[in-house]
Amino acid sequence: LSWISSKAANFGERIIAFAAVEGIFFSGSFASIFWLKKRGLMPGLTFSNELISRDEGLHCDFAVLMFQHLVQRPSRERIIEIITDAVTIEQEFLTDALPVNLIGMNCALMSEYIEFVADRLLVELGVGKIYNTKNPFSFMEMISLDGKTNFFEKKVGEYQRMGVTSNR
């Protein structure tokens, strides 16, 4: 994304670009791997995907939090420009990466999903939705819920918080 490396981009624009990279880029790739999880395929890959996507989500949350503390923020128009650039790049990538239609997964649905993700980020940034696209992948709603894991059945994919009663 040229916004991050551009000498002309100010700090606020770079924060928005960082949020776009962490929140939009690869969201389609994560969705395609969660699609495998929905089908019970490749448990090792899907477990790793959970951890990586959660990490990227935290990075995006951090960028949004930093943005909310900025005194001089980019204009609404500039924010939309940066986010729509990211959406276009991610949609082009996914068109190349997903050249065939699968049951419940294709380029058109993936394109809608990227717009849905971008709208969610825009709302968090205080801009509001511009695509008004619904999430085409119901299975992606489940990843935002706190998962409970039976310790004896599966590795835990949740982050652990340190506390007084935590084992170190």
For residue range 88-136, list pLDDT tens digits in order.
999 999 888 777 777 777 888 999 999 999 999 999 999 999 999 999 9
Residue 102 lies in a domain: yes
Residue 164 lies in a domain: no
- CATH assignment of the domain containing 78: 1.10.620.20
Residue 9: other Cβ atoms inside 10 A: 19
pLDDT at 168 over 80: no
Residue 159 lies in a domain: no
Residue 162 lies in a domain: no
Domain that includes residue 14, residue range: 9-137
Looking at residue 23, its pLDDT comes to 93
* Overall domain count for the chain: 1
pLDDT at 142 over 90: no
Quote the CA–CA distance of 97 and 77 in Å, as a whole number. 30
